Amino acid sequence: MTSVSITPKGQARLRAGHPWIYRSDLGRHDGIEAGLVRLVDERGKGLGSALFSPHSEIRARWLAPEGVAVDAAWWLAMIRAAALRRRGIADSGHRVVHTEGDGLPSLIVDRYGDVAVAQLLSAGLESVRGQIVDAIREVLAPAGLLLRNDAPVRDKERLPRETTIAFGEIPKRAAYSEGALTLEAAPWTGQKTGAYLDQRENHQLVGRLASGRCLDLFCYHGGFALPMLKGGAREVVALDSSGEALRVLEGSARANGLSGVTPVEADAFDWVRDAAAGSDRYDVVVIDPPAFAKDKVSVERAIAGYKELNLRGMRLLASGGYLFTASCSYHVHRGMFFGMLAEAAADSGRRMQLVEIRGAGADHPELVTVPETGYLKAALLRAT
Ligand code: SAH
């Protein structure tokens, strides 16, 4: 295996528990192809193996200590361990491998009933695609495995964007269970790998406290709207700018025997401004927007956007009403998110109680040493 030396700064990051090694943290490495490399210090002492990406700023991702063979059996054992960690999850839609959170950098594997969808997000990982596909087949035995390798981050690795079947058959819509509901993912064309699994536990939390009139802003396929109806809401106003997403929601509502959804195709910012000026109030408001900050420079604007939505969302609450609010922008860190909520609460004129601090579900393990594994921040608030 090719050896690459790593600078003291890079070594320090590894010791701090972070597996990423940047271009500038490596010694000479011209001409090395994507794949497994052995990391060494300046004296040639082995520091373990890593996935090497010749074009990405994150040039290597640490995998295993020196002396551990990273072969087909290793990938199988790692993916099996990840699957075992999800043993108690009853929902047939859940994440099976969460990248660094499961010690498998740049690999995502999601399960929707008997279908699996994976994303291989680095050039190094692509070099062992066969071993990963075999391991997924062995551990999950799905009817089919789709590779949703169309994520934009693949551009940074100079990998093509493509969606291909690794084996078996993949339907246009894949049914899966979440709580008491049967939902449908769109593995070929949907957001992420076909649904927002990271909110799985939050969908159920919000479903449990729903009553009366509820509002689901940025509803997509109804991840929150449907459990709210199931949980006892009389009416759910479900808003998204995508008419197609709303049609999927309506189909799922019918399939689950749920009535009371009012779909609204609109821009959430415009709608909420008008609504807050009107007199309708809601017992539960959900705000789950897309990532507004894709990088550090857009953080300030993103926070202004979150604040505007949350401020209006708070004003729309009935007395005693709940606000469930989330941000999936990694660059908006927890402290900033809660600071934004405090400002929104102050400006809204409502007294907001922090009922619960939330994040992604347990199937999206977050490592304390790798903050990137915990991008989703959320809070359950109550107007007192
Ligand atoms: N709450 C959903 C996931 C939401 S994803 C769940 O739990 O499953 C974000 C959604 O916001 C997408 O469906 C997208 O179509 C929608 N969206 C993006 N910008 C919007 C805007 N300005 N107004 C309304 N919806 C928007």
In percent, how much of the chain has pLDDT > 90?
98
> Which residue's CA is the closest to the ligand 1 atom numbered 9?
290
Q: Quick one: three-class SS letters along 188-203?
A: CCCCCCCCCHHHHHHH
Do 136 and 118 contact (CB within 8 A), yes or no?
A: yes
* pLDDT of amino acid 294: 86
Q: What is the mean pLDDT of the chain?
A: 97
Q: Which atom of ligand 1 is nearest to the CA of 196?
A: 8
The contacts of residue 90 (CB under 8 Å, 6+ apart) are 177
- Of 183, 182, 147, which Cα lies nearest the Cα of 165? 147
Q: What are 283-318's pLDDT values in tens digits?
A: 999 999 999 998 889 999 999 999 999 999 999 999
Q: What are 350-359's pLDDT values in tens digits?
A: 999 999 999 9
Q: Which of 240, 272, 306, 375 to mutate to test the pocket of ligand 1 (most atoms within 8 A of CB)?
A: 240
* pLDDT of amino acid 242: 96
Q: What are 149-170's pLDDT values in tens digits?
A: 999 999 999 999 999 999 999 9
What is the helix (H) or strand (E) element at residue 12, kind and residue range? helix 8-15
Binding site membership of 223 for ligand 1 (Cβ less than 6 Å): yes
Tokens describing residue 335: 């402290």
Ligand 1 center to 233 CA (angstroms):
21
Count of beta carbons in the 10 Å neighbourhood of residue 192: 16
The mean pLDDT of 315-340, rounded to a whole number, is: 97
Residue corresponding to tokens 């597996």: 19
Catalytic residue numbers? 328
Ligand 1 center to 222 CA (angstroms):
10
Q: What are 167-178's pLDDT values in tens digits?
A: 999 999 999 999
Question: Measured between alpha carbons, how far is 213 from 204 in angstroms, rounded to an integer?
Answer: 17
Q: Which of 189, 204, 241 to mutate to test the pocket of ligand 1 (most atoms within 8 A of CB)?
A: 241
The mean pLDDT of 48-59, rounded to a whole number, is: 98
Q: How confident is the model at residue 210 (pLDDT cuts 50, 70, 90)?
A: very high
Q: What are phi and psi of 189, to 5 degrees?
A: -125, -10
The mean pLDDT of 213-237, rounded to a whole number, is: 97
From the number of C-beta atoms within 10 Å of its C-beta (0-12, 13-18, 19+), residue 18 rates as: middle
Q: How confident is the model at residue 377 (pLDDT cuts 50, 70, 90)?
A: very high
Residue corresponding to tokens 């929150």: 224
Binding site membership of 199 for ligand 1 (Cβ less than 6 Å): yes
* pLDDT of amino acid 138: 98
